């Protein structure tokens, strides 16, 4: 999954590169006064005495996100995007750009954070959940996804970046829980590999099972994936999706079996389990049990041959 994660991170910082192609749209936004009930109100006045606001903060709502970022906008919207506040700061010839994304839930915000984190490392001095470098610092708390960009990556500005991110987080009173992460069993899970899945775009970052909303998630059903290393099965990726009821899970399983990607060769199929081989000669298995789909891909061996 690391390659997809890195691609998302690069796309999200390059304006004019819409995910999947398309025409670049010139930025436009609503310039609004700060409000304590909006992410706009979370933007600090300045990161230090020598810094000033380069312009009034801008606000992009819903589909208008495409006018701020083209790359990865679909992922934000699928995950549960509400609005983003954008504030530029200036100091002599230097600039910093803060973006505070308000998502629908803490799960949505954590999902965006995890999808972009990859193998990023925490930045010393930043409070809480974060990763980054002198070019960009990213953090997440409650339903807010926060990033500050430093064009050129001058390390002398890193302390100011840290100050801004910490000020934003300090203004957010609580950090919400993300129960979906508990679906993944702990034994063998590679730390830092977890990602949230809630539709076609986020699913493609894990594995190509088929076109469109093949798992019938509709942006409402939430799943979680992670990489595993175990003595018995070696390395593989596991995705668990929990549905509202067993009927919905069974319908999703039927949809997967019917619309499975043509590059996946079906080796076995019954009412509860689907086994296939991918183009790289590795194996996958999808099973349905009660209200859950449990899918494992990139397996080294056929699970029906190695199962006791």
The model's pLDDT over 19-57, given as tens digits with 9 standing for 90+, comes to: 232 222 233 333 333 333 467 889 888 887 788 988 889
Q: What is the pLDDT of residue 297?
A: 98
Q: What is the pLDDT of residue 118?
A: 74
* Domains defined along the chain, listed by start: 2-170 (3.40.1000), 179-306 (no CATH)
Measured CA to CA, the distance from residue 43 to residue 97 in angstroms comes to: 11
pLDDT beneath 70: ranges in the chain: 1-38, 119, 307-308
Q: What is the pLDDT of residue 26?
A: 30
DSSP 115-156: HHHTT--PPTT--SSEEEETTEEEEEETTEEEEEE-TT--GG
CB 196 within 8 A of CB 208: no
Q: What is the pLDDT of residue 149?
A: 95
- Which of 193, 171, 172, 173 has its CA nearest to residue 181? 193
> β-strands 94-103, 144-149: how paired?
antiparallel
Q: What is the pLDDT of residue 34?
A: 37
Please name every residue paired with 60 in a beta bridge, in sequence order, or none if there are none.
84
Q: Against a cut of 0.85, is the pTM above it?
A: no
Q: What is the pLDDT of residue 7?
A: 35
Sign of the torsion angle spanned by Cα atoms 85, 86, 91, 95: positive
Q: What is the pLDDT of residue 29?
A: 37
């Amino acid at each position: 999954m690391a390659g997809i994660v890195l691609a998302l991170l690069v796309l999200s910082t390059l304006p004019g590169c819409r995910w999947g192609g398309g025409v670049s749209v010139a930025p436009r936004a609503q310039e609004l006064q700060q409000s304590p009930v909006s992410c706009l109100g979370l933007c600090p006045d300045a990161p230090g005495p020598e810094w000033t606001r380069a312009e009034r903060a801008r606000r992009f709502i819903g589909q208008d996100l495409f006018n701020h970022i083209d790359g990865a906008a679909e992922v934000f919207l699928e995950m549960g995007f509400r609005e983003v506040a954008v504030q530029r700061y200036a100091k002599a010839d230097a600039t910093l750009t803060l973006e505070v994304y308000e998502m629908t839930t803490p799960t949505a915000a954590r999902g965006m954070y995890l999808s972009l984190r990859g193998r990023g490392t925490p930045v010393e001095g930043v409070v809480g959940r974060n990763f980054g470098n002198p070019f960009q610092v990213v953090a997440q708390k409650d339903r807010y996804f926060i990033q500050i960009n430093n064009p050129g990556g001058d390390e002398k500005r890193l302390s100011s970046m840290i100050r801004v991110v910490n000020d934003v987080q300090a203004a957010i009173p609580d950090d919400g829980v993300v129960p979906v992460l508990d679906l993944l069993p702990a034994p063998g899970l590679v730390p830092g590999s977890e990602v949230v899945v809630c539709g076609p775009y986020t699913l493609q970052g894990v594995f190509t099972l088929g076109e469109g909303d093949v798992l019938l998630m509709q942006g409402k059903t939430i799943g979680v994936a992670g990489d595993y290393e175990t003595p018995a099965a070696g390395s593989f990726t596991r995705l668990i999706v929990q549905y509202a009821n067993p009927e919905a899970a069974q319908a999703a399983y039927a949809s997967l079996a019917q619309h499975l990607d043509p590059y996946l060769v079906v080796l076995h199929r019954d009412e509860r389990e689907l086994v296939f081989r991918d183009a790289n000669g590795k194996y996958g298995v999808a099973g349905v049990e009660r209200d859950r789909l449990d899918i494992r891909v990139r397996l080294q061996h056929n699970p029906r041959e190695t199962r006791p």
